[in-house]
Amino acid sequence: MKVLSYQIADGIDISGFKNSFKAHIYFSDNDEIFYMIDTDKFIYVFKYGVVSFLNYDEKGISDFIHFIIPYCKNFSEFKLSEEFEIETGAKEIRFGYNKIDIIEPTIDMYRLIILNVSQSVALDYYAEVTNTLLNETNLQTQYLEKKGRLNISGRNLKKYIGRTLNLKSTISENLYIFDSTPETWENEDLNRIDLGLKKTFDLQVRFRSIQESLQIIKENFELFKDIMQYRNSYVLEIIIIVLILLEVINLVIEKIN
C-alpha cells in the first residue's frame, strides 16, 4: 500500500471544498478533512495546501486534484511530493526507509501515517520558502558589507518583515510536530507509530531548523530597519542644519543690506 502526498498550493479552502466534494468523511475540523473512499482507500486534505492519497492510481489522483483546483490558493501542481509504503500483516511494528510494517491496520493507523507523511511534505515546502527568504536576506547583508549601505526601500523592508512574521505564524498554526492526535494517548500502537514516524521523517529536527532560520531572518530585517531609521534620522538632522544655516545666512544678508 502506498501513500502519496503532494503540496499543490499555498492553502486550500477546507470549508468550501467540504461542501462540494461528496464522500464519506471519517474525520474533519477547520484545518483538515479525512475521507474514507473505500475500506482501504483514503484521501486527506489539509488547509496548508497538502493533499494525500492511500491506494490511489495516477488517474484518480489527477482527477481529484483537477476537482480541488478552484478551492486552492496559488495552485501549483505537484510542487513537492513524498511517497511512503505501508506493509500489513507484519509480526511487529517496524520502521524502514520510506516504509512502515504494521501488524493489523486500522483506519486510525492509516490516518496517522498519512498525517505524518503530509507534515513531512509541508516541512519541505516551508523549508523552501524559508531558504528563499534567507537567500534574499543574505544578498542584503553582502551588499551592506561591500557598499556600506542597504539596497532596499523602506516599503519593501516592511513587506519582508511582514512576510517573515506571517510565515512563522502559519507554520505554528498548521504543523503539529510536537503534538500528537488524541487517539495516540489511549492506544499504545498508535503512540508508537506516531513517535516512530516523527523520528523517521526527522520532523522535529527539520521544524527547529526552519524556526532557527526564520529567527535569523527576523533579526537581520530588524537590524536593517534600525539602520534605515538611523539613516533617515541622520538625513533629517542634515536637513535641519542646512535650514538653520540658510536662515542664519539670510539674517546676515539682511543686516548687511
The lowest-confidence range among 52-66, 69-83, 168-182 is: 168-182
With 80 as the cut, is the pLDDT of residue 92 above it? yes
Q: pLDDT-derived band of residue 235, with 50, 70 and 90 as boundaries? A: low
Instruction: Categorize the per-residue pLDDT at 232 as very low, low, confident or very high, splitting at 50, 70 and 90.
Output: low
CB neighbours of 102 closer than 8 A, spacing ≥ 6?
86, 87, 88, 90, 93, 109, 189, 193
Q: If you average pLDDT over residues 157-162, what whole number do you get?
A: 76
Res 225 pLDDT > 90: no
Residue pair 45/33 in contact (Cβ under 8 Å)? The answer is yes
pLDDT in tens, 99-136: 999 999 999 999 999 999 999 999 999 899 888 888 88
Checking if the pLDDT of 37 tops 90, the result is: yes
- pLDDT grade for 168, boundaries at 50, 70 and 90: confident
Q: Which residue has the higher pLDDT, 73 or 158?
A: 73
Q: pLDDT exceeding 90 applies to what percent of the chain?
A: 45
Instruction: Say if residue 230's pLDDT is above 60.
Output: no
Q: What is the mean pLDDT of residues 51-57?
A: 95
Instruction: Give the percent of the chain with pLDDT over 70.
Output: 88
Q: What is the 3-state secondary structure (H, E, C) of the chain?
A: CEEEEEECCCEECHHHHHHHCCCCEEEECCCEEEEEEECCEEEEEECCCEEEEECCCHHHHHHHHHHHHHHEECCCCCCEEEEEEEECCCCCCEEECCEEECCCCCHHHHHHHHHHHHHHHHHHHHHHHHHHHHHHHHHHHHHHHHHCCCCCCHHHHHHHHHHHHHHHHHHHHHCCCCCCCHHHHHCHHHHHHHHHHHHHCCHHHHHHHHHHHHHHHHHHHHHHHHHHHHHHHHHHHHHHHHHHHHHHHHHHHHHHC
pLDDT at residue 178, rounded to an integer: 60
Give the pLDDT score at 163.
Answer: 78
CA distance 128 to 124: 6
Beta strands 99-101; 80-87: pairing state: parallel
**pLDDT of res. 3:** 96
What value does the mean pLDDT take over residues 76-82?
Answer: 81
Backbone phi, psi, residue 204, to 5°: -70, -40
CB-based contacts of 77, cutoff 8 Å, min separation 6: 8, 65
Confidence grade of residue 14 (pLDDT, cut at 50, 70, 90): very high
